[in-house]
Structure 1
Amino acid sequence: MPVSLPAPPPVKAGTATHCPYCALQCGMNVATGETITITPRQDIPANAGGLCQKGWTAGELLTGDRLTTPLLHGEEVGWNEALDFVADRIRAVQAAHGPDGVAVFGGGGLTNEKAYQLGKFARVVLRTSQIDYNGRFCMSSAAAATGRAFGMDRGLPFPITDLARADAVLLAGGNVAETMPPFVRHLAAMREAGGRLIVIDPRVTPTARQADLHLQPTPGTDLALALGLLHIVVAQGDVDEDYVVARTTGFEAVRTSVAAWWPERVERITGVPVARMRAAVAILAAADRAAILTGRGAEQHAKGTDTVGAFVNLALALGLPGREGSGYGCVTGQGNGQGGREHGQKADQLPGYRKIDDPAARAHVAAVWGVDPDELPGPGRSAYELLDALGTPTGPRALLLFGSNPLVSAPHAGRVAERLGALDLLVVSDMVLSETAATADVVLPTTQWAEESGTMTNLEGRVLLRRRAIDPPAGVRSDLEILRGLAARLRGTDGFSADPREVFDELRRASAGGIADYAGITYERIAAETGVFWPCPAEDHPGTPRPFLDRFPTPDGRARFLPVEHRPPDEDVDAEYPLYLTTGRVLAHYQSGAQTRRIAALNAAAPEGFVELHPDLAERLDVTHGERLRVIGRRGETEAPARVSAAIRPDTVFMPFHWPGVNLLTNPALDPVSRMPEFKVCAVRVERAR
């Protein structure tokens, strides 16, 4: 069971590595001795000497409550007994239900090596199509939209340092001051040089407070707002017509479609005054260099792909993508949200960002893996669809889960709990006993960030090297070792190395020639260059920090405008559920909180969730600050104390999602393209707790 451990013995002093949390992947040094000391690195541009409080306290993850022994039905057992049990149960399930009777669910925090090996294990050893990962809940809408528009999905297709040189940045649905504070230094540098920051958010967040202009739309109306902004750009003659002719296709259809989105109509839908829309366009149109960025607030909707597409259209009309110092970008969330989906964790993808139903892609990857292409399964279910199918007559009967905590992080969490409970076998690999791990048949204790080496790809598409700084506790194994052990038991194969460098070299071969080409990236290059940008097809290639400067990776080299139309949230307010609920993060915590809720300083800063509501709403409900509230929706209910604040709209309540309960309420309605659930808006009512 979890135990409290003393600081590990000193192995290395001042090992240069990276933070275990968000997609900035801030550089840090880990020094060991009587205590573990974290200091920021100056040589990594994303943070350049800065860390947030999560990064500063990350050393406590290495010495706090940990899993150190495999658990079988809650009892401590040896590794052989645990892995033998898992292998026997997998064989039995697949004998009864076929290869797809076993599913795999990964995580956006896994290194590139682990993400790659997990995808290979699913397709080669299990031969299942049922694999996806929690990154589907992160950046999938932006990935789908930018893939359609640019032919490539890379969070920021330019170095983050370009933002400091911009004259204007529009950030839609992102609260970087709390989610990744070192990001703010790039925005601050821009503003200090005279640039302007525009923030779109239903709340007056710490990021919005730093903005020169804040647009505060009704939740679920970002798409209408983007259409209205583009309407103004067209009507005022601010389109970069020369750029549109030279570098894009499809604009006339978009020009026609946005004619219907005049500002007064958009104001009625979004609640954003026309004057503020015009002010935003004036700032963007006057800028020589500008960037338009989206975050989860704009993307986690059942129309998230179209919403991002509308902001991409706005960026293209202004002539931004493919110009140095300008462009469209997505603020990726999870630590390896970028690399984690490039190399095979997603249901429809193979390494190198290849499509699994592309015969040429299958042939290339199968050759690297030493299998017949016909043996590779086809596309499987997306993340929520996979979770929703668990234990059903036509769904998987067993699940292997690595680096995720869906009982807290998935939408409609009550349904997810039911489905996990219906499985014949649930295996969780984790470093702590998360809420999901606590329900598992088998729990496998795994190494964590500073106890293993591997690569991560940050939000810029920069491949970075995490170095092992300390030895893991006795009895703990890496995910690569776990996969090797299961592969040996299930297939008798030795094609699953536990050496991260060997796995990365195989990943390089598998990705060669793909969109996300890592062939020219080596551990030595990453160390020497403090990261290498993909695509990098050869060792003498410099890497590609700005991939769109000369052409877009589309068949004709042009970016594509695609018309999109606004539609209401899947679940709108009504008399029974009259308020919008939106969710997000707070400064002290990360994702499901499985790690940060175990750190004393972070818990002291944010000990529990809350319901943020406007003073006018609090007065109507006769609610005072700190009073315990029930939030009730169509799928469930939860409780938390009231936080009365003018930062929220009167028609909206906000709850952070780091604690169990919030996602009992959220809507699993899926985007038809990205399969992103509609986390960011659902209908609720609020009342005093009994």
Structure 2
Amino acid sequence: MTELLLKYFRAKQQEGQTEKVYDTQCPFCSMQCKKQVIEQSIVTRKQYRVLGKANPTSHGRLCIKGLNAHQHALHPERLKYPLQKVDGKFEQVSWDKAMGIIKEKFQVIQSEHGLNALSVYGGGSLTNEAAYLLGKFARVALRTKYIDYNGRFCMSSAASAAIHAFGLDRGMTNGLNDIPLAECIILAGTNIAECQPTLLPYFEKAKENGAFIIAIDPRETATTKMADLHLKPKPGSDAALANGILKALVEEKEIDLPFIEGRTKGFEEIKAYLGTLTLEEVEELTGVPANQIRKTAIMFGKAATGMIFTARGVEQQTDGYHTVRNFLNILLITGKIGMPGCGYGAITGQGNGQGGREHGLKADQLPGYRSIENPDHRHYIARVWNIRESELPGKGVSAYEMMNKIEDGEIKGMLLMGSNPIVSNPNADFVKKALEKLDFLVAADMFISETAMLADLILPVTSYLENEGTMTNLEGRVLLRPASKPCPGEVKHDWQIICEISRMLGKEDYFSFSGPEEIFNELREASRGGTADYYGINYDRLKKGEGILWPCPDPDHKGTERLFENSFAHEDGKAVMIPVSNTSEIAKEATDGEYPLFLTTGRVISHYLTGVQTRKSPSLAARNFESFAEIHPETAKKFGIQNKSLIKIKSKKGSIIVRSQWTEDIRQDTIFVPFHWAENQNVNLLVSDQLDPVCRMPGFKVTAVNVSHLEKL
């Protein structure tokens, strides 16, 4: 009898249990790991499991963020309907009403103040299709020159450096499979173990193969602990450190003269500048012992193969462009590029930071990595878009500089999509006040972010589980992200929203797309013949799951695994080296009696960007529920700061309150604060508005501050 009852109850349980499998990929970092989200419905309750999927990039691995990324997409605070601010409070409105408001406001602003009174601010997590369409929307539907995106704060230093040095920027010059072939690797300003954990096994494999790994970071991290040699420079001195390595390479004769003479320009100028320096001077500037600098040069120079990777630690500085150029000088004078196990990698931070700038989200770029100031490039894109070249606006300004344009009254309205600028921008208090001055702000988002809270209208967008499209990962591999989960409420895809606004503005003929594949096919044509040529990539090929590395100029092309094997992308085929001064063109903040410590910023493993999504994941939020400041115990004692106590950190721009965290893993003149929190924990309230003169990167990594115990204020 008991056995019969058990069979009966099992049958009833199975009747009430269903399972759905959603193939997708993680929405966060540039690894774009493939995975499955498995939804099990048991009677009235749903539970979820996540499995990694085999793929050529992460091989089925997932980190803590990828395992829990579904939680924010299912969060009860997801926006499901358009919201209009009425008397300071948000009220649900219909899509028709929302579109009518946008039409009226946009038309009034442009009729009264000109076309450039409207602006567009995008995000590095948008699909290629949405990024492409948003760039086209700004230039065709609005005809404004003001468009940029938060990727400006991610890789602009590295992108500009690679373009000027090599003639082309693809993030990585090699596929990831080249990493284990390198005998020596320099990791400059990157904490892979926390920022891209599924990338770390490539370096662990290289180490197993005998590679000597050199890490450059003022902090000890899980990444530096893997290294054979850890250089701990004073924040802001990375360009000088690279000069020290170059100086030692020349002195030790560990340079590749045939490569230099045959494939580069500018070596004599570098050699002349290095002749004015000594390693002792570099040691004084950087705090890195001269013997460690020389050892770095010898190990990298003597290795048969070698690679250099940079990330935000050396890039997010007001001389970030020149700093990266100097690390590229190291690569070029040793001839370590264009061969197996030899090359450069800028480790992209955002999920699609690469694709965003390739296809039009930056102020100066058109699809295919074309320049908006190049007449031939303008003519080509105008033909693809079926407009006159004269109708294309010119070059705008960088993301932060748009805030200055708002403050000056030149920009009156903004469409914000997939970003949270009052947390991610430097000088964050100024940015908030500037955005509050807008006549009209529309935010398209999944949640009411800190910036969306300022909006006049919020449009609900789909999550990665619902929105199909392509993404370009850190190695330049284009991947198709499937998405089959039904949209909740009245949520719409970002590309649909762009098309609907365009229709309301009378531009339907240019935005009559029925799906992401149709958009991608136009993107392919727009990129054809450009630096970032996607023409040979299509959805049918991508559905096979392997992804394709651009450039891929025709459908029979297999994609390009390794760049610069025979020549660089400049007209003469040569790479360009330049001497880089030990002192920045823009004076960085220096410590003094009032502000005696350096502040540097970065990520923690459980959070992503401004934390809007990851703080909606209970599993991730529980790991780091508040911000903190890493401080050396000796420094803490000097300033009367107890461990785990609330402290005030103050710069010339503002102040924040966070909890102290003692650690001997940081220089005594430096403190570290992550950037995932808002309000009075927003570390970007402290960061100056100075920008790199070439790429317009802010100096997030070098801010002079003081600290004090909160109870003594």
Question: Under a length normalisation based on structure 1, what TM-score does the superposition of the two structures give?
Answer: 0.97
Q: Please list, as runs of the form range in 1=range in 2, the aligned pairs for 1:282-321 lying within 5 A after superposition.
A: 282-321=298-337
Give the C-alpha shift of residue 13 in structure 1: 4.2
Residues 27-48 of structure 1, C-alpha deviations (whole Å, 9 max, x = no match): 1122233233221112x23211
Distance in 2 separating the partners of 1:548 and 1:245: 16
Distance in 1 separating the partners of 2:194 and 2:532: 30
Partner of 1:261: 277
| 1:592 has 2:613 as partner | no
| 1:249–1:12 CA distance, 2 compared to 1 (3 A) | farther
- The secondary structure found in structure 1 opposite 2:344 is strand
Partner of 2:29: 22
Partner of 2:499: 484
Q: 2:684 aligns with which of 659, 663, 672?
A: 663
Partner of 1:62: 73
Partner of 1:672: 693
Residues 178-209 of structure 1, C-alpha deviations (whole Å, 9 max, x = no match): 00101110010111111111100010111111
Give the C-alpha shift of residue 498 in structure 1: 4.5
Give the C-alpha shift of residue 601 in structure 1: 1.1
Instruction: Judge which range, 465-474 or 514-523, deviates more.
Output: 465-474
CA contact (8 A) 1:30 1:469 kept: no
Instruction: Judge which range, 202-211 or 115-124, deviates more.
Output: 202-211
CA contact (8 A) 1:11 1:470 kept: no
Give the C-alpha shift of residue 492 in structure 1: 4.3
The aligned amino acid for 1:365 is I
Partner of 1:325: 341
Partner of 2:8: none
Distance in 2 separating the partners of 1:363 and 1:617: 59
Give the C-alpha shift of residue 373 in structure 1: 0.5
CA contact (8 A) 1:306 1:564 kept: yes
- The secondary structure found in structure 2 opposite 1:169 is strand
Partner of 2:13: none
Instruction: Judge which range, 144-153 or 22-31, deviates more.
Output: 22-31
Distance in 2 separating the partners of 1:419 and 1:575: 32
The aligned amino acid for 2:71 is E
Distance in 2 separating the partners of 1:446 and 1:360: 36
Q: Please list, as runs of the form range in 1=range in 2, the aligned pairs for 1:612-627 lying within 5 A after superposition.
A: 612-627=630-645
- The secondary structure found in structure 2 opposite 1:32 is strand
| 1:41 has 2:57 as partner | no
Residues 307-339 of structure 1, C-alpha deviations (whole Å, 9 max, x = no match): 000000000011111122111211111000100
Residues 540-596 of structure 1, C-alpha deviations (whole Å, 9 max, x = no match): 111111121121111011111112112255211111111110000011101000000
Partner of 2:10: none
| 1:51 has 2:62 as partner | yes
CA contact (8 A) 1:232 1:262 kept: no
| 1:443 has 2:458 as partner | yes
Partner of 1:207: 223
Distance in 2 separating the partners of 1:623 and 1:575: 18
CA contact (8 A) 2:263 2:574 kept: yes
CA contact (8 A) 1:10 1:470 kept: no
Distance in 2 separating the partners of 1:529 and 1:284: 36
Q: Please list, as runs of the form range in 1=range in 2, the aligned pairs for 1:118-157 lying within 5 A after superposition.
A: 118-157=134-173
- The secondary structure found in structure 2 opposite 1:384 is helix
Give the C-alpha shift of residue 282 in structure 1: 2.0
Distance in 2 separating the partners of 1:15 and 1:311: 42
What percent of counterpart residues are identical?
Answer: 45
| 1:212–1:461 CA distance, 2 compared to 1 (3 A) | same
CA contact (8 A) 1:324 1:549 kept: no
The aligned amino acid for 2:509 is D
Give the C-alpha shift of residue 524 in structure 1: 1.1
Residues 121-154 of structure 1, C-alpha deviations (whole Å, 9 max, x = no match): 0000100000000000000000101100100011
Give the C-alpha shift of residue 529 in structure 1: 5.4
Partner of 2:467: 452
Q: 1:419 aligns with which of 422, 426, 434?
A: 434
CA contact (8 A) 2:252 2:298 kept: no
Q: 1:428 aligns with which of 422, 433, 443?
A: 443
Residues 616-663 of structure 1, C-alpha deviations (whole Å, 9 max, x = no match): 111111211111000001010000010011011111111000001210
CA-based RMSD:
1.4
CA contact (8 A) 1:300 1:678 kept: yes
CA contact (8 A) 1:391 1:424 kept: no
- The secondary structure found in structure 1 opposite 2:474 is coil
Partner of 1:5: none
Give the C-alpha shift of residue 11 in structure 1: 11
Partner of 2:528: 512
Q: Which has the larger radius of gyration?
A: 2
The aligned amino acid for 2:362 is K
| 1:197 has 2:207 as partner | no
Q: Please list, as runs of the form range in 1=range in 2, the aligned pairs for 1:373-392 lying within 5 A after superposition.
A: 373-392=389-408
- The secondary structure found in structure 1 opposite 2:23 is strand
Gaps of 5+ in 2: 1-15, 42-46
Partner of 1:6: none
Distance in 2 separating the partners of 1:525 and 1:51: 24
Distance in 2 separating the partners of 1:498 and 1:386: 32
Distance in 2 separating the partners of 1:148 and 1:21: 29
Residues 213-241 of structure 1, C-alpha deviations (whole Å, 9 max, x = no match): 10000000000000100000011100111
Distance in 2 separating the partners of 1:588 and 1:75: 33
CA contact (8 A) 2:141 2:507 kept: no
CA contact (8 A) 2:254 2:302 kept: no
Distance in 1 separating the partners of 2:277 and 2:506: 58
- The secondary structure found in structure 2 opposite 1:538 is coil
Partner of 2:4: none
Give the C-alpha shift of residue 17 in structure 1: 2.4
Distance in 1 separating the partners of 2:662 and 2:527: 50
Partner of 2:9: none
Distance in 1 separating the partners of 2:242 and 2:525: 41
Q: Please list, as runs of the form range in 1=range in 2, the aligned pairs for 1:268-279 lying within 5 A after superposition.
A: 268-279=284-295
Q: 2:181 aligns with which of 158, 162, 165?
A: 165
Flag as ranges the 4+ runs of structure 1 deviating above 4 A: 9-13
CA contact (8 A) 1:104 1:130 kept: yes
Q: 2:549 aligns with which of 533, 542, 549?
A: 533
| 1:607 has 2:625 as partner | yes
Distance in 2 separating the partners of 1:32 and 1:482: 28
Partner of 1:636: 654
- The secondary structure found in structure 2 opposite 1:556 is coil
Distance in 1 separating the partners of 2:421 and 2:19: 35
Distance in 1 separating the partners of 2:528 and 2:20: 36
Distance in 2 separating the partners of 1:492 and 1:456: 27
Instruction: Judge which range, 489-498 or 203-212, deviates more.
Output: 489-498
CA contact (8 A) 1:638 1:662 kept: yes
Give the C-alpha shift of residue 12 in structure 1: 8.6
Give the C-alpha shift of residue 666 in structure 1: 0.8
CA contact (8 A) 1:668 1:679 kept: no
CA contact (8 A) 2:181 2:340 kept: no
CA contact (8 A) 2:371 2:377 kept: yes
CA contact (8 A) 2:176 2:475 kept: yes
CA contact (8 A) 1:233 1:281 kept: yes
Residues 424-479 of structure 1, C-alpha deviations (whole Å, 9 max, x = no match): 00110001111111111100000011101100000101000000131110200011
The aligned amino acid for 2:508 is T
Give the C-alpha shift of residue 611 in structure 1: 1.0
Partner of 2:708: 687
CA contact (8 A) 1:388 1:415 kept: no
Q: Please list, as runs of the form range in 1=range in 2, the aligned pairs for 1:95-110 lying within 5 A after superposition.
A: 95-110=111-126
| 1:654 has 2:669 as partner | no
Residues 92-121 of structure 1, C-alpha deviations (whole Å, 9 max, x = no match): 100111000000000110000000000000
- The secondary structure found in structure 2 opposite 1:390 is helix
Q: 1:576 aligns with which of 594, 599, 611?
A: 594
Gaps of 5+ in 1: 1-8
